[in-house]
Amino acid sequence: MAYSEDHIALAAEYALGTLDADERAQVETMMAVDTEFTAIVHAWEYRLGVLNQMAGSVEPRPIVWENIKAAIGHSTAQQAPMALPEAPAEPVAAPVVAEAPPAVVTADNSNVIQLSGRAKRWRNVASVATALAAALVAMLAVQVYRPELLPEALRPKPRIQTVEVKTPAPSPVPSAQYVALLQRDAGSPAFILTVDAATKNFTVRKVGADAEPGKSFELWLISDQLPQPRSLGVIGGSDFTARPVLADYDAGTINAATYAVTVEQAGGSPSGQPTSAPIYTGKLIETVPANAPR
């Protein structure tokens, strides 16, 4: 049985001997009916008894006894002469007094009943808490698996999740490819000109032509739509030369034009017009049609 601090303090005071008659009677009654409480009292007696043995006896000073005698009126200076009582003539028989029946001690079980009541209340609280926890678990399970069984106010709010779907960029539509072989008298090509119809960029690949020292090859566009040849720039010394200069011309002019190469001074013609007759010429032909799989 769990005892309160009041019960433990009561047992300690009983061991100390500081209780009044009623409290001592209460403790002795509890000890008569409760062995565990008796063990608590004995434990306190053992602890306090050890402390009592550690303290030695102290003899009071003589003045203390004189003060006690003076207080009770029995000092030696005021004592009257002692007189002996006269012996009685005949012994007188004392009246027979019947002994009173022994008092019946009634155990006070109020503390036991009170503690039992507290334990019952704690059991009721624990039962209610267990029931509430079970109900909460059941409600959470219904919210997760069968939310439609709950009232509208208890249903979980639907989660709205926005998913961004990235559409792949459309593949570029293949554009037509045009090629011109720039050559002299139907011989081996000196340059290969490639033109992309979508971007109007061109690439010149040097195949079999070598520029003379101090000279440069220059590419020209010759068309009936133009009053005079237009320079497309100097062909570099590397194998490939790429430029975007055809963007200024429409597709019809680009596809129908004649492309020619002249030999100019280093860096190209200073006047913007050919200074010599073309030595390599060619026209574009479509090698890859538009929308053709690559």
What number of other Cβ atoms are within 10 A of residue 143's Cβ?
14
User: Which pLDDT belongs to residue 132?
Assistant: 53
Q: pLDDT tens across 146-190, in order? A: 776 667 666 667 777 787 777 777 766 677 889 998 888 777 888
Q: Which residues have a Cβ under 8 Å from the Cβ of 36 and sit 6 or more positions away?
A: 1, 3
Question: Has residue 24 got a pLDDT over 70?
Answer: yes
Residue 108 has pLDDT above 90, yes or no: no
**Structure confidence at residue 281 (pLDDT):** 92
Q: How confident is the model at residue 125 (pLDDT cuts 50, 70, 90)?
A: very low
Among 216, 218, 217, 242, CA closest to 230: 218
- Report the pLDDT averaged over residues 91-96: 50
| Mean pLDDT of all residues in 83-109 | 50
DSSP helix/strand/coil, 185: coil
pTM, two decimal places:
0.42
CA 200 to chain centre: 58
Residue 66 pLDDT class (50, 70, 90 cuts) = confident
Q: How far is CA 72 from the centre of its chain?
A: 83
271-290: average pLDDT: 88
The per-residue pLDDT of the chain, averaged, comes to: 77
Q: Express each pLDDT in 198-248 by its tens digit.
A: 898 999 999 888 878 889 999 999 999 899 999 999 998 888 999 888 988
> pLDDT higher for 278 or 65?
278
Measured N-to-C along each axis, helices 21-33 and 110-145 cross at an angle, to the nearest 10 degrees, of 60
The secondary structure of 107-158, three-state, reads CCCHHHHHHHHHHHHHHHHHHHHHHHHHHHHHHHHHHHHCHHHCCHHHCCCC
* Model pLDDT, residue 84: 46
Cβ contacts of residue 106 below 8 Å, gap of 6+? 29
pLDDT at 67 over 80: yes
